[in-house]
């Protein structure tokens, strides 16, 4: 079987960068790696967290609750976040140094206020697809290489979904940074990704 690879850049948005409202430590360090890799893949796509201002994952949408509290959203346990990646705002935009010229399609997630959507493929209840799977299938993609922000949320869920959808799935470790709200979250995320069938690599291996 012939393989065809796509690079999937997860949420390289200002709000996840140092200074952003949901900053991932050292998150901007991956932009350079993303730019280097973009030129060597035949297909490059990106996701953007793209929330309405009243999204149910925001603590501000739940009077009396604060950032880091848990609630339920769409029947699922939900961590409450600061307001981030509101559609059309600066925080939702790509990091200014990201080379977007090689990105052929951008997929938005988290657009429905009533459900969280960590995966770039579908929401947490798996009710609605973003279009990423259809796009990759249409391009004949068999192998996906994933990296971005944050390792322990959107990268994790995107990788698990890719494995479940039958892609040969690679995680590019130096293209990822995590939140580690609990100190071993990223280690646990890598363990879960490996268990699901993903292979962890470094950009220098490509």
Q: Which residues bind Zn ion (CB under 5 A)?
A: 49, 110
Stretch touching ligand VGL by CB under 6 A, among 96-104, 148-156, 163-171, 197-205: 148-156
Strands (E), the chain: 5-10, 43-49, 70-73, 76-79, 103-109, 143-149, 168-177, 199-201
- Annotated active-site residue 180? The verdict is no
Binding mask 50-89 for ligand VGL (x = CB under 6 A): -------------------------------x--------
191's enclosing H/E stretch is helix 185-195
Q: Is 17 in the site for ligand VGL (CB under 6 A)?
A: no
123 binds, among ligand VGL, Zn ion, none (CB under 5 to 8 A by kind): none
| Separation in Å, CA 23 to CA 54, 137, 178 | 20, 33, 10
Out of 109, 123, 152, 186, pick the active-site residue. Answer: 109
Q: Are strands 103-109 and 43-49 parallel, antiparallel or unpaired?
A: parallel
Tell me the C-alpha distance between 98 and 34, whole Å: 7
Out of 15, 49, 123, 154, pick the active-site residue. Answer: 154
Q: Is 107 in the site for ligand VGL (CB under 6 A)?
A: no
Geometric angle at alpha carbon 136, from 148 and 15, rounded to 5°? 25
- Annotated active-site residue 204? The verdict is no
Residues engaged in binding ligand VGL (CB under 6 A): 11, 16, 49, 81, 149-150, 153-154
Catalytically active residues are 11, 109, 154
């Amino acid at each position: 079987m012939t393989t065809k690879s796509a690079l999937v850049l997860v949420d390289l948005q200002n709000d996840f960068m140092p200074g952003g409202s949901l900053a991932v430590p050292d998150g901007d360090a991956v932009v350079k790696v993303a730019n280097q890799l973009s030129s060597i893949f035949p297909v490059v796509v990106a996701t953007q967290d793209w929330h309405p201002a009243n999204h149910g994952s925001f603590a501000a949408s739940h009077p009396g609750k604060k950032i880091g509290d848990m609630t339920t959203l769409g029947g699922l346990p939900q961590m409450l976040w600061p307001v981030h990646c509101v559609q059309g705002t600066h925080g939702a935009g790509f990091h200014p140094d990201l080379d977007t010229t090689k990105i052929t399609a951008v997929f938005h997630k988290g657009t429905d206020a009533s459900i969280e959507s960590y995966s770039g493929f579908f929401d947490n209840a798996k009710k609605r697809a973003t279009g990423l799977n259809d796009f990759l299938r249409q391009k004949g993609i068999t192998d996906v290489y994933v990296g971005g922000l944050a390792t322990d949320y959107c990268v994790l869920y995107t990788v698990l979904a890719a494995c479940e959808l039958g892609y040969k799935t690679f995680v590019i470790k130096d293209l990822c940074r995590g939140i580690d709200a609990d100190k071993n979250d990223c280690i646990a995320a890598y363990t879960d990704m490996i268990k699901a069938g993903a292979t962890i690599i470094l950009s220098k291996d490509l």
